[in-house]
A and B are shown apart, each in its own frame.
Chain A
Amino acid sequence: MDVSEYEPSFLEVIDSLKQRTDYADLRWVEHTHEYIEVKNGEVVALARSSDMGFGIRVLYKGAWGFASSYDLTPDSIREVADKALSIAQASYRLIREPVRLAPEDVHIDTYVNPVRVDPFTVAIDDKLDLLFKVDSALRHPHIPIREVFMDLWRERKLFINTEGSKIFQDITHTGAGMQVTAFGEDMQVRSYGNFKAAGYEYLEELDLISHTDRVKEEVLALTKAPVPDEAVKDIIIAGDQLALQIHESCGHPIELDRVLGTEASFYGTSFLTLDKLGKFQYGSKHVNIVADATHKDALGGFGYDDEGVKAQRTDIVREGVFVGYLTSRETASILGQRSNGAMRASSWNRIPLIRMTSIDLEPGEWELEDMIADIKDGIYFETNKSWSIDEKRLNFQFGTEIAWEIKNGRRTQVLRNAIYTGITPEFWRSCDAIANKKYWQIYGVPGCGKGEPGQSMRVSHGTAPARFRKVRVGYKNER
């Protein structure tokens, strides 16, 4: 579809709203998605989908309204604009302070992420060949479930606002992975995979085949492994698990809309209240966290957010001190700042919310082996399996697919159903080592949930393995 055929109608309604509102913007979005999954040698999903529509957001006397539709006829576009305005007028009945937007430059631009091979032009046969090869390599008499998938996604969107910005973006993501399941005393899984803002060429880099033997060996080891007892231990968290740790215990609590209470009815609020900005000891001096939307190859990277604010890299935690939130134009104005560009909507029919970009833990100086060598009695946790955190993002508990006991500075036996738990700032303050940039990589998280109606967002986290002292592992349950 070519968006240019709708542009005259879009420009007309934005022009008309300019006269009737404080501010308005319009987003046209087209999504294309292909998901293929092979399970035990059979194709259990080969689904292609495409979806298109537009949404109009208006600010009337300081109150928001939003309406959207799949119907792109000129009459419908005008009706949706009127509906958004009438909804804003209803909102106006119950506002305390009118919304003010932080200033933003006018941008007329196009952003396209680097793609060498358009994944939607690759023949289905070639895609299936790859998945079948991986599936075949995962075969083993004691592994009853093998799953291999490929996930290809494209978003094309046009943003126009009453301030004169007009931005077109074309973003492609490619992901793939595998999971095997085996049974011992209980069910065990082991997986490998990742997502990147890239084309089909990413599958070469991901090199699923080269991980099949390891994944098989590890799941079989898990079926015979012990469960760790409840204890307090020194632990190392591998990069892929640390990505989720950052996501839940840093990424969500720094969303300023959440801090200000607008997510209270669903996912909750945040312990990182406004009084903590610039002075709260979030972690140890080793902990430096940034929000970086400028990665061209990460799921959290883009050219502009859905308010037309240019992608930025901003400090969140510097030497352990909490120094920044993710913001929007509305919330940044409350802090007297300009937006750092974190407003995104999952599609045309959703209003933008503050969403994570790429929330990255900066690498340290350590070699991983040296980090392990310093532990007398500990556990190494890798790849998330279970996740839970309270609504203010303080008490968390995570379980991983696999863990290893560390005894006298060496990784020893495999452990199954391993969990660790803690309180966010206590946990990050116990971080005393982060591996160096050789170990640092970006992990894509394609399904971050927030909002009502629900929105699933694509975000990412750059991490390297890190060490934490005196963390509670396992749990007690005696009857």
Chain B
Amino acid sequence: MKDKLFAVGEVILNASTADETEVLLFGTKSQLTRFANSVIHQNVYEENVEITVRAIVDKRIGVVSVNLSALEEPSELAKLAKEVAERTPKVVDFEHLPSPAPVREVQSYFSSTIEVTPADKASVIEKLVKRATPLGITLSGVYETSEIHTVILNSNGISLYYPGTWAVFKVVSLSDTSQGYAVQCELDAAKLEPEKVGERSIEKCDKGKNPRDIEPGKYDIVVEPYGMAEILSWLAWLGLGALSVIEKRSFLCDRFGSQVASEVFTLYDDGYHPLTFPWPFDFEGVPKRKVVIIENGIAKDVVYDSYTAKKLNKENTGHAVTPEASRKIGPIPSNLVVEPGSSTVDELVASVSRGLYVTKFHYVNGMINPREAIFTGMTRGGVFYIEDGKIRYPVKNLRFTESMLTAFKHIEKVGNDLTRVGLESEIGAYAVPSMLIRGFNFTGKTEY
């Protein structure tokens, strides 16, 4: 794959007559087994090579993308990108494409991951189904193994290659009245423990049977890493990148240097962190830097790409997204890490006299009031009532509507269970522990 990507990329780069040219290539192979009602209903394989060319002509930018089968003649793609650039008005603030800089080595490619076969996956699922069936529980989920190869070349001399592998095993267990959710994401499939994942999901579903009604209101919550990661993902899109600060859309605007979360909360982005999906450079080929976003509750900084760094006279932190989207959405942190605390999950629960244990949130939305980070969403995957420091019984799902600025100020304890949580809509992961949040605002309920 590596040789093929470089061969195509170099032909395009050499054929370009633009002032500056960048070629970004992704080669992917992915196999995914999906099961539901305890049977495999979808078993799919795909491979693809996608190419994006960014041409610069007198500060005018043209971007063209194709996949390899739609690429008739590589040199034509360079020509087309230049033609698009020539028809575009100047971007006054644009200076140059980045130049080469040293990139640290990091291993994200494991051949054990690509060696897992559909038959291996079927065997794992088969075993878990045998465990769940006598309990009146059916299993749904996915077992995905993927590889992605990235090549970035530009006319200033950047020439980078990075391969990665990705294995996800997710189990959603369902009884007539309950649900259990568990997932494990690894770069190296040999480290996956599918039986443990399945056991966790089945156990939660079994304990969650016949949930009781509960009224909305304020509850202290202990929320697992899956739930917190979903919140962080929305925060990242809404306000942790420099363009959102330039445009004053970010909830951190006017709050830098101020307390935006409790003292126990520290958030940073680290492209090399082993419990994320390490990726040593961004989609412009700039090495990623660790960026402390919130330190002991104080808002510190956001992430930058080449355009926003220049605009704000800051250092480029290596967080550019792909060229099609970079000027539209700006840089985004993709390797978020919450500094773990010292409490075990049992200790978090023990600190709650009346509250809820939340596995996961569902359909979170942060658009009600982005500047105040007011989010809504549902609980999912198992919710339990906590009384006097102990989990007592399962309850039905609730809707929350809450400002995350308020909620984060009420984080009282951070767990020590730092966990890799894969992003649901793309390859990528955050490292997040469980947390105890006081007085979380639930505003509605549902029937199950």
Contacts and interface: CB of A to CB of B under 8 A. Distances in A.
Tell me if chain B binds chain A.
Answer: yes
B69 A387 contact: no
B364 interface: yes
Contact of B401 (A52, A454, A475): A475
Interface residues of A, number: 85
A22 interface: no
A51 B363 contact: no
A186 B141 CA distance: 40
Nearest to B425: A454
A83 B117 CA distance: 11
Nearest to A35: B324
A275 interface: no
B271 interface: no
A392 interface: yes
B139 to A, nearest CB: 9
Contact of B121 (A90, A262, A453): A90
A395 interface: yes
Interface stretch (A64-72, A170-178, A207-215, A363-371): A64-72
Contacts of A69: 46-48
A197 B67 CA distance: 24
Interface stretch (B289-297, B370-378, B411-419): B370-378
B172 A64 contact: no
Interface string B68-80: 1110100000001
Interface in B26-67: 30-50, 61-67
Interface string A52-84: 110100000001111111111000000000011
A265 B46 contact: no
B172 A52 contact: no
Nearest to A394: B446
Contacts of A55: 46
Given A261-B36, A261-B174, A391 B362 contact: yes
Contacts of A49: 64-66, 324
Nearest to B374: A417
Contacts of A83: 45
B222 to A, nearest CB: 20
A477 interface: yes
A83 B119 CA distance: 12
Contact of B247 (A65, A86, A144): A144
A186 B369 contact: yes
A37 B61 CA distance: 13
Contacts, number: 271
A206 interface: no
Given A72-B69, A187-B370, A399-B368, A94 B399 contact: no
Contacts of A51: 50, 66-67, 69-70
Interface stretch (B98-106, B107-115, B153-161, B436-444): B436-444
A377 interface: no
B142 A452 contact: yes
B149 interface: no
A349 B371 contact: no
A419 B444 CA distance: 13
Contacts of A419: 368, 376, 401
B371 to A, nearest CB: 5
Interface string B373-411: 010111010000000000000000101011100100000
A432 B33 CA distance: 46
A392 B50 CA distance: 36
Interface in A324-352: 349-351
B64 to A, nearest CB: 5
B37 A260 contact: yes
A96 interface: yes
A50 interface: yes
Interface string A389-402: 11110110101000
25 contacts: A39-B327, A42-B89, A45-B324, A53-B48, A64-B43, A88-B43, A93-B123, A93-B126, A96-B39, A187-B370, A260-B36, A260-B37, A261-B37, A261-B138, A265-B141, A266-B424, A271-B447, A351-B42, A386-B376, A391-B380, A394-B448, A397-B376, A419-B368, A421-B443, A453-B30
Interface of A: 1, 30, 35, 37, 39, 42-53, 55, 63-72, 83-84, 86-88, 90-91, 93-96, 124-125, 128, 144-145, 181, 183, 186-187, 260-266, 268-269, 271, 349-351, 385-392, 394-395, 397, 399, 417, 419, 421, 423, 449, 452-454, 475-477, 479
Top 7 A-B residue pairs of the complex, sorted by shortest distance between their CB atoms = A90-B118, A44-B327, A49-B65, A395-B446, A386-B367, A264-B140, A349-B46
